[in-house]
A and B are shown apart, each in its own frame.
Chain A
Amino acid sequence: MDSFGDLLFYLVIETGFLKAALVVNLLLVVVMILTLMERKISAWIQERHGPNRVGPWGILQPIADGVKFFTKEDIVPSHVDKFLYIIAPLVSLFPALVTFAVVPFGDQMTVNMFDHLVTIQFQVADINVGILYIVGIASLGVYGLIVGGFGSNNKYSMLGGLRSSAQMISYELPMGLAIISVVMLSGSLRLNDIVTDQSSLLAWNIFRQPLGFIIFFVAAFAETNRLPFDLPEAEQELVGGYHTEYSSMKFSAFMISEYSHIITASSLVATLYLGGWQIPGLAALNLPIVAEQLLQILAFIVKTSFIIFIFMWVRWTLPRFRYDQLMNLGWKSMVPLGLLNVVLTAAVVAFF
């Protein structure tokens, strides 16, 4: 460490600190955009105008919402378990923000920076258990809901927490089974290997694993607590579910974690089934390397955005499931179908 450049190099590149900070902040900005996007899409589907007062076409609405959340009075009801009540939004926010760490949003490229040849990977952490990491950490997200529901000391919140715990456990199984099939094809748990495995259009896992794709997609809806599976916060039955007692920024934290879950789930669908950052036939064009990288990142963004759009489209189109229907679908249809998919994939991998 003899110069400022070296120190900066160590801090920024070796520790990956800057990249992590950048990705988390980008994630939060995208969450802001998504809140507006959701309202605009719902308005479009219901033939309304949607928010259009703040800024041109209402694009400053998320900032106004943020200011409002910050300046509202932060109410802690007298009957709650104070510690659990305060910690619940944080518990729910943490896994929502860290799961994105292993999702690759671009290929790697080598550039010259402060007289060092630096290989930049467009991924915060390339760990060899990538997909397991996402499943493991995402399953911790349910604690935010359980702790919030229990700490609120309110029967509706409690029911919301109970529902979410049962729902998460039920739908983690088919999700895991769908992932196993993908992993069997690629032969690696590393998300980068899964992406490079789908190099041509026909090798995209959506074509090789159509059943797995449907199972994973449906399970992703349930895991993110989105309609038609948003039973933990069913307004008509549970007032607001686990976040009934929350106000101002604490409520906002729950919303932010919900939207970050959607981003991660969508990027995961794009990575596992739609070829990730790959564009089929891009290598044949012989573009300059930077342009190629940027195009690939753009492809990843487009794919993820499309999946997010489907998430919202479904929310404003389909009605909510009943609780027994939810459980029946999970255990009696999706788990057997997932097992069938695993067996079929294993047979194909073994014999062809």
Chain B
Amino acid sequence: MALESILFWLFAMLAVGGGVGVVVHPNPVKSALFLVVTFFALAGEYVLLMAHFVAIVHIAVYAGAIMVLFLFVIMLLNVQEESRLAGVWGFMRYFSVVLFVALFVQLGYFGYQGFFGAENVPLVRETEIGTVEQIGTALFSQYVLPFEIASILLLTAMIGALYLSKQKLGLGEPARAARVKEALHEKEEAH
């Protein structure tokens, strides 16, 4: 138990520290690396909650793939250090403080309720709940509709991204239509 507490605080501090680093650090590449630290620490917390599958998918997808792509783009565009808060809307800076306080109070309240409140259920640690088999069974029986909807949403987003990038390259449908129109126009003019 002691070991679990130590690990929990270690990962918690890493996660919060990484999160602060993401926001505070002026260099975009280092911000992204801080985010990786946060993801890794969160995955550690998931393991402590016996959710091995979620933890490892979290690392493989977020830390292993998405953040690599982010870093790739940041490095490719060579974004220089900048004060990113000086954006278009100056008031957003103050608005964000309000949002932060609201969120913090909300989370703190529910956390307090859950921990000390009357309906404090003892924490159940089921070793079976986070296994692949359990999650797979749940996804394909109880939650099959949301699962399919999410997959269609992802597919739509993928096709959309493909369509937009092809359009920019001049291979998509609108671009081809424009080219055909232009060619016809030239033909008419030649006549």
Instruction: Report if A142-B68 is in contact (Cβ < 8 Å); known contacts: A132-B53, A132-B57.
Output: yes
A162 touches B (CB below 8 Å): yes
Closest to A162 in B: B75
A128 touches B52 (CB 8 A): yes
- B57 to chain A: which residues have CB within 8 Å? 132, 136
A312 touches B (CB below 8 Å): no
- A133 to chain B: which residues have CB within 8 Å? 56
Instruction: Report if A129-B132 is in contact (Cβ < 8 Å); known contacts: A136-B60, A150-B29, A166-B72.
Output: yes
A168 touches B (CB below 8 Å): yes
- A132 to chain B: which residues have CB within 8 Å? 53, 56-57, 60, 132
- A146 to chain B: which residues have CB within 8 Å? 68, 71, 75
Interface residues of A in 145-190 (CB under 8 A from B): 146-147, 150, 158, 161-162, 165-166, 168-169, 172, 189
Closest to B66 in A: A169
A314 touches B (CB below 8 Å): no
Name A139's contact: one of B29, B53, B64, B133 (CB within 8 Å).
Answer: B64
B6 touches A (CB below 8 Å): no
B69 touches A (CB below 8 Å): yes
CA distance A224 to B56 in the complex (A): 20
Instruction: Report if A129-B76 is in contact (Cβ < 8 Å); known contacts: A143-B36, A165-B71, A169-B69.
Output: no
Name B63's contact: one of A127, A129, A140 (CB within 8 Å).
Answer: A140
Interface residues of A in 250-301 (CB under 8 A from B): none
Instruction: Report if A136-B64 is in contact (Cβ < 8 Å); known contacts: A128-B52, A189-B132.
Output: yes
Closest to B76 in A: A162
B72 touches A162 (CB 8 A): yes
B60 touches A139 (CB 8 A): yes
CA distance A84 to B72 in the complex (A): 16
A13 touches B (CB below 8 Å): no
Instruction: Report if A128-B131 is in contact (Cβ < 8 Å); known contacts: A136-B64, A139-B64, A150-B29.
Output: yes
B52 touches A127 (CB 8 A): yes
- B68 to chain A: which residues have CB within 8 Å? 139, 142-143, 146, 165, 168-169
B33 touches A (CB below 8 Å): yes
A137 touches B (CB below 8 Å): yes
- B76 to chain A: which residues have CB within 8 Å? 162
A67 touches B (CB below 8 Å): no
Please encode chain A, from 179 to 214, with 1 for each CB lying within 8 Å of some chain B CB and 0 for all others. 000000000010000000000000000000000000
A129 touches B52 (CB 8 A): yes
CA distance A160 to B33 in the complex (A): 18
CA distance A189 to B29 in the complex (A): 34
A135 touches B (CB below 8 Å): yes
- B53 to chain A: which residues have CB within 8 Å? 128-129, 132
Please encode chain B, from 39 to 71, with 1 for each CB lying within 8 Å of some chain A CB and 0 for all others. 010000000000011001101100111001101
Q: Which of B30, B63, B64, B132 has the most CB of A within 10 A?
A: B64
Give chain B nearest CB distance to A192 CB in angstroms.
14
Q: Which of A136, A162, A166, A189 has the most CB of B within 10 A?
A: A136
A140 touches B56 (CB 8 A): no
- A147 to chain B: which residues have CB within 8 Å? 33
Give chain A nearest CB distance to B91 CB in angstroms.
34
Interface residues of B in 151-174 (CB under 8 A from A): none
- B65 to chain A: which residues have CB within 8 Å? 139, 169, 172
CA distance A136 to B36 in the complex (A): 13
A150 touches B60 (CB 8 A): no
CA distance A142 to B57 in the complex (A): 17
A137 touches B75 (CB 8 A): no
Closest to A136 in B: B60
Interface residues of A in 108-143 (CB under 8 A from B): 127-129, 132-133, 135-137, 139-140, 142-143
Instruction: Report if A140-B59 is in contact (Cβ < 8 Å); known contacts: A128-B131, A128-B132.
Output: yes
Closest to A142 in B: B68
- B56 to chain A: which residues have CB within 8 Å? 129, 132-133, 136
Closest to B65 in A: A169
A161 touches B60 (CB 8 A): no
* Extra 15 A-B pairs, beta carbons < 8 Å, given A142-B64, A169-B72: A127-B52, A128-B52, A128-B131, A132-B53, A136-B60, A139-B59, A139-B64, A140-B40, A140-B59, A140-B64, A143-B33, A147-B33, A150-B75, A166-B72, A189-B132
Chain A residues in contact with chain B, CB under 8 A?
A: 84, 127-129, 132-133, 135-137, 139-140, 142-143, 146-147, 150, 158, 161-162, 165-166, 168-169, 172, 189
The contact sample of 5 A-B pairs, CB cut-off 8 A, is: A128-B131, A139-B60, A146-B71, A165-B68, A172-B64
- 8 pairs of A and B residues whose beta carbons are closest in the complex: A139-B64, A136-B60, A136-B59, A165-B72, A136-B56, A132-B56, A165-B68, A129-B56
